[in-house]
Structure 1
Amino acid sequence: MLLTISCTRPVEAEWPATDLGYLLHKNPSRIQTFEQSYGVAHVLYPEATEEHCTAALLMEIDPVRLVRGKPKGTPDFSLGQYVNDRPYAASSLLSVAISTVFGTALHGRCAQRPELARTALPLRVELPAVPCKGGPEYVERVFTPLGWTVVATPLPLDPAFPEWGDSHYVRVELTGTLRLSDALTHLYVLLPVLDGSKHYWLDEGEIDKLLRFGEGWLTGHPEREWITRRYLTRRHTLVRTALARLAELDDAEPEEFDAVEDAADEEATGTDSETDCADPGSGPVAAAPVAQADSARPADPRIAGTASAGSPTGEGVEGERGPSLAVLRRAAVHRALLSVGAGRVLDLGCGQGALLLELAADRAFGEIVGIDVSMRELKIAARRMRRLPEWQSRRITVRQGALTYTDASLRGYDAAVLMEVIEHVDAPRLAALEHAVFGSAAPGAVLVTTPNSEYNVRYETLHAGTFRHSDHRFEWSRAEFADWAHRVGGTYGYAVRFEPVGPEDAEVGASTQMAVFTKQESKNDGDEKGAA
């Protein structure tokens, strides 16, 4: 496994190209060796002149060390543990070596030449073999937006038999004028992304690592969702959290994420998604299957205003995008809360607090309470609240609770919101949620949003009978939603009206449907007020 980094001295520069050694903290005049848990790393300089300097990181992988410590029941083919591409293909092993051998340069520090560490240098990076099942175009898609000129050359399966075609390995050459620390962080993050796997166990600490080394470039990267999924090896829970935190960093809304992987991801993986609102007793999905592989993501997740082929709206200028459906949904809920005069609001199934943040910015809402069953989601919501000004954060409370159980502390509020919640609850438990919200808590108004299943035909990649998200227990048509809403309203004394959310289609309506329930004054209430 080999990585070379070359620097050419600019014409106007007064420093020699060998100052690359200062940045890497490795002397060009000698070979240095560093023990790794899985082999040995060597740093040497094939060329070191004032005009041009090349540093090479050569990894010698010990297959025995690599498998040492694996459990006896490992699913890997036993011989394949020792005979594989790890000794020569750039992977997470090389990323770890970059962080341990070039750690100071990776973090952009250089005590002897601090000004050089902050200077963009003419660099050339070469990697003889990079695993990339998506082909050379994927190398270009991840590196080109970062300022690199990319040459990715497929490697043949066997040069002696060209008719066998190309392998999924590519030779990569990157040239550009960047700070050395930026170049190393790009390699550190993107090499495991292209490989699509890691040699070590992943936990939530890996999210922090991704955000730390992706700072300054990942949030604005056009392939950030794909990069995030691959870096976290498609661990659904980790990916959801990472995308939400990335969206916080650039004040953007994370695209609705489902458990289905991109068609380009050839390796299948399980998901461990959590429900956003259901109580811990909710059972597994038993209704319709989730769309698989190349069939689950909407043609345009941001719904509003594109005229490209397969656009759900068919309006607007090609290439332009309006607000995301999530943004439109929150805005619709916000308007509806104002229309019913709500000042004290419950967000039931608040998730990571996107609606809480929006309502906190409006002084019309004096008290906002977020309830969710997932402590992980609530921790993220609480962290987001801490970033708000004090006059906003003091009006918000978040706490754990299951919506299918009554809670006396939820009584007396002006309004409650169930935004994209009911479809996550098993149908047999829906009656318990109805009683807990409409019967026990009985706020002055209840706002419910849920997907309109009729609109699914406008998503090119959704097949008949599939849901938009892996955790949906059902998705209702407009008629089914209206029947449910009128029944619940009649049972608990609420009038109900309906509003579409998102661009409306003449045939199938809007992507999201919203019901606004308002508590009707009973005759007894009127008599009591008259007597008073």
Structure 2
Amino acid sequence: MLLTISTTARPATDLGYLLHKHPDRVQEFGQSFGTATVFYPEAGEERCTAALLLDVDSVSLARSRGKGSPDFSLSQYVNDRPYAASSLLAVALADVFRTARAGRCRARPELAERPLPLEVRLPALPCRGGPELARRLFAPLGWEVSAQSVPLDEGFPEWGDSRYVRLELRGAVRLADALNHLYVLLPVLDDGKHYWIAPDEVDKLIRAGEGWLRDHPERGLITRRYLGRRWALARTALARLAELGDDTEEQLDPAVAEGPVTPAHVTPQEGPVTQAPVTPDDGPPAVPPRPLSVQRREAVLAMLEELGATSVVDLGCGQGELAGELLARPRFARVGAMDVSSMALTIAARKLKLDRMPELKRARLHLFQGSLTYTDKRLSGYDAAVLMEVVEHVDPPRLEALERVVFGHARPAHVLVTTPNAEYNVRYEFLTGMRHPDHRFEWTRAEFAHWAAGVAARYGYRLAVKPVGDDDPEVGPPTQMGVFTRDQDS
């Protein structure tokens, strides 16, 4: 099976730096199922192409699967694996281009952060769903997609098309993003993985999908197929993405149609996949709901403006989404962004384009690492502090330390705290447990109100609790926000 990646960014041979593979050498990498070879069919100043050729050893692969393999005995040795780009190619790509997928390049760090004109070609790709599915998956990511069905036999066109497509992608995309798109979507198109799907596949999906999966219109389909339709894992992954604020209910529902599925594709474990018929009486298509993460940021920004804050510190800033929104509004003359994770801060700096930020805008931002359970003078001097979806990640015995640091020592005029409403979880049909595996707790409306009222009384603040998102008449809103305002005489 073959994958080629080309660029015309001059000098095009910089592709070798980004992939960490020298254009003048042929390199081989042993895999448990064969050998991956990287070479450059062309390497010039104006155009450079890197090729990943995977030679699958079907005999070794069959033997490694043991006697419990469900495959028909002969099909373990005679199959399309050496020729069609399946999950095996995704595994080889992840191994061979590990550093490039992470977006690291010491020799050309500025290139690793910059979109490049790229062309990706896969001559034979198994695709359950045909060319249209390939377009649905890659086009929203900024790719110009050319997907053509491969006929069963060109000499007998009446036999029809095979299940394979010839795929070509063109676009201005960061190389790391391009590799992660392929890593996730190759097994999704094939709708099958050739290795055991363990629980850590959820973490791999979340990492590889960082920055694009949560906003993808086919997120539910991608998640379910990537995880081999193992519903427990899919529910976990979708819940973690839902915590980032997407249209949760649709994506958590495995009955969402993936398009027409012929009976040959249906197994007893999957059941039929249905699609609601569309009639002229249906009217115009419904407008998709705004992601909860967007509604949450909008609610926080609106409240900060209503309170008249001009300096804000985002405590537990994550990847800098709120900080970016604050910087886009000149009224916020000073913006702080703190997180305990150095990796999150690195991603935030990249997303905010810190290295290319105008000097005046850069002077307004203070990005720093710290912990909310230790006093820190850098937290003082702001009109308002925001803890957006943060407190639920703190162990309950350490909440008292957080309260003391934020409300006792930093003492901004205003503190905004948002947290999930546990009562609303019943509206996420396939969610079991909490919305994120790192949550230490999730409060009901009464529990949050009790905690917030206690904090306000102890530290001299007035409290208002407001809903964020659709306020369900039975279970309340998906997110609840506490608005703390310091008493004038305290």
Question: How would you bin the TM-score normalised by the shorter chain?
Answer: 0.5 to 0.7
Counterpart of 2:288 in structure 1 is 321
> What number of residue pairs does the alignment pair up?
363
Whether 1:142 and 2:138 are equivalent positions in the alignment is no
**Per-residue deviation at 1:422?**
0.5
Distance 2:215 2:131 in 1: 26
Quote the offset at 1:211 in angstroms: 1.5
> Percent of aligned positions with the same letter in both sequences?
38
Q: 2:380 & 2:243 partners in 1: Cα distance?
A: 42
Aligned to 1:183: 168
Q: In the alignment, which residue of structure 1 is the partner of 2:416?
A: 447
The 1:427–1:333 alpha-carbon spacing in structure 2 relative to 1, beyond 3 Å, is same
- The verdict on how the C-alpha distance between 1:126 and 1:329 changes in structure 2, with shifts beyond 3 A counting, is closer
TM-score by length of 2: 0.59
Corresponding residue for 1:521?
488
From the superposition, tell whether residues 435 and 89 of structure 1 become closer, same or farther in structure 2 (CA, over 3 Å).
Answer: same
Task: Report the Cα distance in structure 1 between the residues aligned to 2:68 and 2:397, rounded to whole angstroms.
Answer: 50
Match of 2:177 among 202, 206, 211: 211
- Structure 1 unaligned spans of 5+: 4-33, 44-56, 68-74, 101-117, 154-169, 176-181, 187-206, 272-289, 526-532
* Cα separation, partners in 2 of 1:346 and 1:470, compared to 1, 3 Å: same
Task: Output the CA distance in 1 between the equivalents of 2:247 and 2:57.
Answer: 51
1:419 is aligned to 388
- Residue 262 of structure 1 aligns to a residue in which SS? helix
Tell me the secondary structure at the aligned position of residue 469 of structure 1. coil
Root mean square deviation, CA, Å:
5.3
Contact 2:460–2:486, Cα closer than 8 Å, also in 1 = yes
User: Which aligned pairs between 1:72-87 and structure 2 lie closer than 5 A?
Assistant: 87=82
What is the CA-CA distance between 1:356 and the residue it aligns to? Answer: 0.2
Partner of 1:366: 333
Equivalent AA in structure 1 for residue 442 of structure 2: E
For 1:295 and 1:418, how far apart are their aligned partners in 2? 21
What one-letter code is carried by the residue in structure 2 that aligns with 1:414? D
- CA drift of 1:480 comes to 0.9
Residue 298 of structure 1 contacts residue 459 of structure 1 at CA under 8 Å; is this kept in 2?
no
Letter in 1 for 2:375: T
TM-score (structure 1 length as normaliser): 0.55
Matched AA of 1:514: M
Please state how far the C-alpha of 1:225 moved relative to its aligned partner. Answer: 12
**In the TM superposition, what is the alpha-carbon distance from 1:501 to its structure 2 partner?**
0.9
Q: Secondary structure at the match of 1:509?
A: coil
What does residue range 451-466 of structure 1 map to in structure 2 within 5 Å? 451-463=420-432, 466=433
In the alignment, is residue 401 of structure 1 matched against residue 400 of structure 2?
Answer: no
1:443 maps to amino acid: P
**CA deviation digits over 1:22-60, x for unaligned, max 9?**
xxxxxxxxxxxx88445598x9xxxxxxxxxxxxx9975
- Residue 512 of structure 1 and its aligned partner are, at CA, apart by 0.8
What is residue 227 of structure 2 aligned with on the other side?
265
Superposition pairs of residues 458-497 of structure 1, within 5 angstroms = 458-463=427-432, 466-497=433-464
Matches within 5 A, 1:117-196: 125-126=123-124, 130=126, 136-137=128-129, 141-142=133-134, 146-150=145-149, 172-174=163-165, 183=168
Residues 175-217 of structure 1: CA distance to partner in whole angstroms, max 9, x if unpaired? Answer: 6xxxxxx72789xxxxxxxxxxxxxxxxxxxx96442458xxx
Distance in 1 between residues matched to 2:368 and 2:187, nearest whole Å: 29
User: How much does 1:391 deviate?
Assistant: 3.1
Contact conserved, 1:403 with 1:436, CA < 8 A, in 2?
Answer: yes
1:403/1:437 contact within 8 Å kept: yes
User: Is the 2:215–2:246 contact (alpha carbons within 8 Å) kept by the matching residues of 1?
Assistant: no
Distance change in 2, residues 1:484/1:358 (3 Å) = same
Q: CA deviation at 1:324?
A: 1.4
Per-residue deviation, 1:392: 2.4
CA contact (8 A) 1:298 1:460 kept: no
Q: Secondary structure at the match of 1:430?
A: helix
Q: Which residue of 2 aligns with 1:432?
A: 401
Q: Which amino acid aligns with 1:431?
A: E
The alignment partner of 2:224 has SS state of coil
Cα distance in 1 for partners of 2:486, 2:27 equals: 71
Letter in 2 for 1:337: L
SS in 2 for 1:369: strand
